[in-house]
Amino acid sequence: MRLLLAFLVSLSALPALACGPDSDCVVGDRTYRLYVPEAAPQPMPVLLFAHGYRGSAAAEMRNKALLKMADDMGIAIVAMKSAEEDWALAHTPQAPERPDAMEYDYVDAVLADVAGRVKVDADRIVMSGFSAGGMMTWTMACGMADRFRGFVPMSGTFWAPVPETCDAPPRNLVHIHGTEDTTVPLNGRAIGATRQGEVERALAIYAQRGGFSRKGDVDGPDGMTCRQATNADSRILDFCTFKGGHGFSVARLRYGIEQVLAAPPP
């Protein structure tokens, strides 16, 4: 009996079960995956990444170019996982009458869990996502911006209607999108009983709220042209387009992250 009690006490003293790029980190009834470069600084910057429709955290962690980017930049990658095949956002085709997103508690739990596993630089947390993950990213930029340095939504914005107001003040944001995208067109498209929002509408509302004004255009990697804007707090609002369809590029993602991290902290 004493041996059993000693064994149970020793178990309670152990740290949380290990997880990583090949195994799930558990938060409540949800999961995520974590990749930490060997040469990551202490504390380290972190990228939260949201997959596209019917995607998975496991699939993101199989992207060798993404992991190489993490190694080169010294940034940890947190690959989040939707509860179902899509993120629980407002006005999705699966729930067109849903007025608000239901993912804030999950993101908050992931951030807390990651901070318990690695030493996180709280001023250098960036969120990004592709397609439906870009919609997830815009949603967090609107409702949870105070937890992040900035956002890099790729090929996705809100489901219509685009919110007229947001709970949190604007941070840095770099939106990336193909001009010939037919899956998530810049002007959106109808899907079932709902519709994708217009990218320019989302950017205009964000610009108005944050007091952003046009700065100029610059060329980015992988064929991008970026329309830049800034505000009195030196925060950035960039709109980067490339001639192409619904495609993901690690080079474009890296550019967006670097722009966000180069901007002044909150």
Q: State the Cα–Cα distance between residues 111 and 147, nearest whole angstrom.
A: 9
pLDDT at 17: 56
Q: How many CB atoms lie within 10 A of CB 173?
A: 31
The least confident of 36-50, 122-136, 159-173 is 159-173
Helix then strand then coil, % of the chain, to nearest 5: 30, 30, 40
**pTM score, whole prediction:** 0.93
Domains delineated in the chain: 23-262 (3.40.50.1820)
> What's at 3, amino acid-wise?
L
**104, pLDDT greater than 50:** yes
Condensed to tens digits (0 to 9), the pLDDT of residues 193-241 reads: 999 999 999 999 999 999 999 999 999 999 999 999 999 999 999 999 9
Q: Quick one: which of 66, 88, 92, 83 has its CA closest to 32? A: 83
Query: How far from 139 is each of 81, 114, 124, CA to CA, in Å?
Result: 16, 21, 19
- Take residue 17 and report the two structure tokens written for it: 């079960």
Condensed to tens digits (0 to 9), the pLDDT of residues 203-212 reads: 999 999 999 9
pLDDT at 266: 75
Average pLDDT of the chain is 93
Query: How far from 234 is each of 67, 166, 203, 238, 265, CA to CA, in Å?
Result: 30, 20, 17, 12, 9
- Take residue 126 and report the two structure tokens written for it: 């960036």
Q: State the Cα–Cα distance between residues 69 and 59, nearest whole angstrom.
A: 16
Q: Quick one: which of 212, 20, 22, 205 has its CA closest to 118? A: 20
Judge contact between 87 and 136, C-beta under 8 A: yes
Condensed to tens digits (0 to 9), the pLDDT of residues 126-156 reads: 999 999 999 999 999 999 999 999 999 999 9
